[in-house]
Structure 1
Amino acid sequence: MPLEAPTTALPRPGHTDEVLYERRGTLGRILLNRPRAINSLTTPMVDSALEQLQDWAEDDEVVSVSIEGVGPKGLCAGGDMRAAREATLQGRDDAIVFWDHEYRLDAAIAAYPKPYVAFMDGIVMGGGVGVSAHGSLRLATERTRLAMPETAIGFFPDVAGCWWLAKAPGEIGPYLAMSGTSITGADAVATGFADALISSDEIPSLLDRLAAGERLDPTVGDTAPASPLMAQRDWIDPCFAGDDAAIILARLERHDGDEARECAAVIRTKSPLSVAVALEAVRRASRMRSVREVLQQDRVLGRHFWERSDMPEGVRVVLVDKGKGAPPQWLWDHVEDVPHDVVQSMFVR
């Protein structure tokens, strides 16, 4: 059922009503309330949520915190990249400011001192992963569609999504990062983005239990659901091995299986620079020790992508023209054309 904001949920004083809060017993509820934009995040929204989390961390009457998305479509479709594009085209650094504030929120969630329960119902993409996957209990549902789709818009998998991509079994992480493929709730559990799969109908009763002071754990749901994605590792793992995006694409295009060749065709539609950077970002994240360290990498990459990247063009194609305008004019036509030193330079402060 679509979540409707309860009348008892209110905005934080002095902040936008695009994030609402409700105290139910010992539970502090965060409700992202921008349903027409699938709760896409803005700087005022993340600032409001961060301040509220800081207050609840010091409130002894709050035992747990939860986050949900208002409306029929899902938790959160990411950051407001259309606004980021407009600011970037005008030479303003609004995007840099937004990412910095967003990453502070993600870091706070990852280190939160109380149980932070994310209901990952419906669409959970980009920034939606940041406000959910770093929580202490991540509950996916039969409606979950999770993705890090940034290569399509000329960006990279940020919000420390690479922390989880790097930990996914086999070569699933590079596959998801480069292709931007969306996965099911069962897949989210299998890849480590979620802890358990529940029915969306169970959410109200779980909220009641949290409000009563109960500390939930993954046993509230299925912790090992059958994952369609894991059944594809027979071609994903051998094709996505290594650090060279061009070699990976060549393997996919030469593969006997239709799924592998179709995946290659999908990746060919993405920004070549973004595809190459996404692979490198996952590989580097595999050597990092914390979400905070991955977020610092994201800050460096964000600055470079703001200065010169395919992001304005990708956002135009996907989010502004919605695929009905002129095809994208990427900085490089093919992944094979992207210089290795350019990719490496994106990671240098």
Structure 2
Amino acid sequence: MSNEPQLLVDRDGALGVISLNRPEALNSLNRAMVGAMQGALDRFEADPAIAAVLVKGAGERGLCAGGDIRMVHKSGRAGDGQGLAFWREEYRMNVHIARYSKPYIAFMDGIVMGGGVGISAHGSHRIVTERLKLAMPETGIGFFPDVGASFLLPRSPGELGTYLGLTGEIIGAADAILAGLADVCVPVAQLPALQDALATLSPAADAELVGDVVAAFATDPGPAPLESHLPLIDRCFAGDTVEEIVEALNGETDVFAGRTVERLWQRSPTALKITLRMLRLGRQSQTLEECIDREFAGSAAILTLDDFYEGVRAAVIDKDRNPTWRPGRIEDVTAAEIIRFFKPHPDPPIGAAGR
């Protein structure tokens, strides 16, 4: 275990650089890292010598695999409030990133999942590499896509965001750009040179100038594998119930549809229904802030859901990849059970003043 700080903050010319430095944990975010990152963002935003902020991950495996879900699991069992406090601070930071007054550049290299999407996809300049493995895999642990995903995913083309949110499918660079979760692809070997070029910008450089520098390094990521499946995805994921979506997929003869149904069967039925409602409400919402407050209320309720603890156990703690969901069938999850995840929280992280 390294004695280095878990978050490194530096200056490179006119660039403020934030490096997640927990490579042994795939740079997963914990509460201390969120606090340190928020502090760095505040300082860089107020510093006239800083033109833009760059966020990247240490090591070769990825930017960030998500939040510290093991801690949240332990906190929820203990009832000590630490997990919910982590989510409150993380979600506030997600909104700050989306509203950041300076260019916010994310190097989305390798694994970018869950909370890793939250610290990248809300940025102004989202750069993926050929090694990208992006996903919102929360339904596989009895949870729902959070960190503002209920705002981002419904704004993907057609029903692509619904597909990604329900299935947790891992996608690469071209599909991430197709889904509107990233902007350009830069080869990983060129990231150091891109950082050097960004560091030479004037402190007065704006988002357009940053975009010009990034564009000079951008390459074609190749065809997006999901693009050919968009008509089927749009047909099948248009339903407003999970049952309708599964029925539509079962009515298709395409191998892709069959694989998708199998993937849905592996997810928590309760989490699937929560997720679909989150995404449909997010599509109607005007602001990220509204979605974040709704997600926070849902996250608080998730801490009372058995499937969450079982999902984290199977995926993170015991790692047997064999969760037992209760209920185990989609049709056995009632509307009354889902309603409680959408009751407004009495102390939302953003609230009306932040909208």
TM-score (norm 2): 0.90
Give unmatched runs, 5+ long, in structure 2: 345-355
Distance in 1, matches of 2:335 and 2:73, equals 26
Structure 1 residue 216, shift from structure 2 partner = 1.8
Find out whether 1:140 has 2:136 as its counterpart: no
Match of 1:184 in 2: 172
Find out whether 1:253 has 2:255 as its counterpart: no
Find out whether 1:17 has 2:10 as its counterpart: no
Structure 1 residue 28, shift from structure 2 partner = 0.5
Distance in 1, matches of 2:306 and 2:314, equals 14
Letter of the 2:215 partner, please give it. Answer: T
Which residue of the other structure, out of 69, 79, 82, is the alignment partner of 1:94?
A: 82
Letter of the 1:197 partner, please give it. Answer: C
SS in 2 for 1:52: helix
TM-score (norm 1): 0.92
Match of 1:120 in 2: 108
Which residue of the other structure, out of 307, 314, 318, is the alignment partner of 1:317?
A: 314
Give unmatched runs, 5+ long, in structure 1: 6-10
Letter of the 1:266 partner, please give it. Answer: R
Structure 1 residue 45, shift from structure 2 partner = 0.3
The answer (yes or no) to whether the contact 2:173–2:221 under 8 Å persists in 1 is no
The answer (yes or no) to whether the contact 1:273–1:343 under 8 Å persists in 2 is yes
Letter of the 2:231 partner, please give it. Answer: D
Q: Report the identity percentage.
A: 38
The answer (yes or no) to whether the contact 2:151–2:282 under 8 Å persists in 1 is yes
Letter of the 2:210 partner, please give it. Answer: L
The answer (yes or no) to whether the contact 2:27–2:63 under 8 Å persists in 1 is yes
Letter of the 1:317 partner, please give it. Answer: A
Match of 1:330 in 2: 325
Instruction: Note the alpha carbon deviations across 1:66-94, whole angstroms, 9 max, x for none.
Output: 00000111000000111111111222221
Structure 1 residue 309, shift from structure 2 partner = 4.4
Distance in 2, matches of 1:226 and 1:273, equals 34
Which residue of the other structure, out of 245, 262, 267, is the alignment partner of 2:264?
A: 267
Match of 2:215 in 1: 219
Structure 1 residue 224, shift from structure 2 partner = 7.9
Match of 1:8 in 2: none
User: How many pairs were matched up?
Assistant: 334
Structure 1 residue 197, shift from structure 2 partner = 1.3
Instruction: Note the alpha carbon deviations across 1:141-193, whole angstroms, 9 max, x for none.
Output: 11111100000011100000122210111111111111000111111111100
Find out whether 1:162 has 2:150 as its counterpart: yes
SS in 1 for 2:5: coil
Distance in 2, matches of 1:107 and 1:331, equals 33
Instruction: Note the alpha carbon deviations across 1:277-306, whole angstroms, 9 max, x for none.
Output: 111111111111222221111111111101
Which residue of the other structure, out of 306, 310, 334, is the alignment partner of 1:339?
A: 334
The answer (yes or no) to whether the contact 1:33–1:69 under 8 Å persists in 2 is yes
RMSD: 1.7
